[in-house]
Structure 1
Amino acid sequence: MEFVKDVLNSFLEYLQIEKNYSKYTVDCYEKDIGIFMSFMQEEQIQNLQSVTYADARLFLTRLYEKQYSKRSMSRKISCLRTFYRYLNREELVEDNPFALVTLPKKEERNPRFLYEEEIVKLFQMNDLTTPLGQRNQSLLELLYATGIRVSECASIKLSDIDFSLQTLLVYGKGKKQRYVPFGCYAKGALRVYIDNGRKLLLKKAPSDTHSLFLNYKGTPLTDRGIRLVIDQLVKKTAENIHISPHVLRHTFATHMLNEGADLRTVQEMLGHEHLSTTQIYTHVTKDRLKAVYMNHHPRA
């Protein structure tokens, strides 16, 4: 399997360098392909070239048997389809056995978002007298103010922030750049952190860095580090809710649309390539409108 490991490493480098995927996304690809490699060993499939359409279908059946969610199964099949497309491009295989595998129909689920009172409670958890408290506050404010992805947040440099125009230069998927505005709350929190907390954290670092968000060692905060920060803040609220950086992204989009923002503007700020991706948030808005109607109309 040494050849397979070499090919996999080349593929992961391709995702990171050519496709500009975040480390988190690349790690997900590696994990999903690893699950398929285990399947190959169980079924005694000798090499990547030997995998057939029937094997791909059997792999999907195994995922069903292990009760993976439809979303998870779709991601794994899409991942392997991309992997084999790469192998075909490199002339390592002749066919893509996953090309014709039908993806499981996705469950129709509205994105999880927070109500304003939940957001306020989250913002009250930080000790603003400490460097890490100031960092966490500015991190929360920026994620909610802009709706940026966690990978985009981790890559922000000081030079990407324009305080005079209150805009942030974001480097999104596929090396695409966009400018996203942020409000006065995020501006205030960033100012406090940059002028105070960040300077104190930077004193612990072995070398200087231009990254905006730093960990307790003074080195750049990673994607995983940001997720850890959010998890710890949620535990402090003592609320039985699941919050991730992506939930804050959902919350940003939902609140914008609920307050009357048009879909195209929200699409631009989120960095979605297709309007259909942004449209999932209109379902949430319709639910909100229905709830308001049912609660307030005298003949509802």
Structure 2
Amino acid sequence: MRDKPIIRILFETGLRANELLNLILSDFNVSKCSVLVRESNTKAGKNRTVYITSETINLFQDYIIDYHSEFVVTEHVFVNHTGKNKGNKMTYWGLESLVKRLRHKTGIDFTAHMLRHTFAANLNDNGMKANSIRALMGHSHIETTLKMYIHPSHETIRKEWEIVTKKMDS
């Protein structure tokens, strides 16, 4: 129940692992399907708003109702559900362990950070302007977004090539 919202939020927002793990309950605005990222390793990353789908908001709410109960000793959203740290904020190594288990279970080779790259590439491939992607990712400089995260897919390159060559033939 906890793992689905984690993966969906990473995929839909491009959050860094530490940003995800530092989310608290009040960071979520259910009516606006948005999340306030208060804490980040970068100045530009702090206090930015990111957006999630209503389906992910529903998963988040189900998780909170079912699992964020009396054993939870923190306002952090994602907590350990077993072990000696049950009820405490999930750690980076806990997230890494979750991703490792999911890789093994699904046979899909991925990391939490790869979801950040996928987020940026998907937005770019679907026409979002680079400066908007930069803001959502919490980058100070557009160059970081362009050099490190925006990689057009082969399909996008092909479509753009076809458009340009048709114009050239005209």
Task: Please classify the TM superposition score into its range, dividing by the shorter chain length.
Answer: 0.7 to 0.9
Partner of 1:221: 90
* Equivalent residue, structure 1, for 2:23: 156
1:252 is displaced (CA, Å) by 0.7
Is residue 265 of structure 1 aligned with residue 135 of structure 2? no
Q: Is 2:60 the counterpart of 1:190?
A: yes
> Structure 2 vs 1, CA of residues 275 and 233 (structure 1 numbering), >3 Å: closer, same or farther?
same
CA contact (8 A) 1:141 1:185 kept: no
Q: Using the alignment, how far apart are the partners of 1:209 and 1:215 within structure 2?
A: 11
Equivalence for 2:41: 173
Q: Deviations over 1:247-274 (max 9, x none)?
A: 0111111111111111111100000010
The Cα of 1:173 is off from its aligned counterpart by 2.2
Matched to 1:139, the amino acid is I
Unaligned 5+ residue runs, structure 1? 1-133
Q: Which runs of 4+ in 1 moved over 2 A?
A: 173-176, 286-294
Structure 1 residue aligned with 2:4: 137
Alignment of 1:1-300 (within 5 A): 134-170=1-37, 171-174=39-42, 176-199=46-69, 202-203=70-71, 205=72, 208-216=73-81, 217-239=86-108, 241=109, 243-280=110-147, 281-282=149-150, 284-285=151-152, 287-291=154-158
Aligned CA RMSD, in angstroms, stands at: 2.2
Partner SS for 1:169: strand
How far is the alpha carbon of 1:197 from its aligned partner? 2.4
Contact 1:148 1:270 in 2 (8 A): yes
Percent of pairs identical after alignment?
Answer: 27
Q: Could you tell me which amino acid in structure 1 is paired with residue 56 of structure 2?
A: A
Letter in 1 for 2:127: G
Once the two structures are superposed, residues 202-227 of structure 1 have per-residue CA deviations (whole angstroms, 9 ceiling, x without a partner) of: 52x5xx21010011212110112112
Say which structure is richer in helix. Answer: 1
More relative contact order in 1 or in 2 (CA 8 Å, sep 6+)? 2
8 Å CA contact 1:135–1:198 kept in 2: the answer is no
Is this contact kept in 2: 1:142–1:186, CA < 8 A?
Answer: yes
Output one character per residue of 1:80-126: Cα deviation in whole Å (capped at 9) or x when no partner: xxxxxxxxxxxxxxxxxxxxxxxxxxxxxxxxxxxxxxxxxxxxxxx
Q: Normalization by structure 1: what TM-score?
A: 0.48
- Equivalent pairs, count: 155
Distance apart, 1:148 and its partner CA: 0.5
- Give the structure-2-normalised TM-score: 0.82
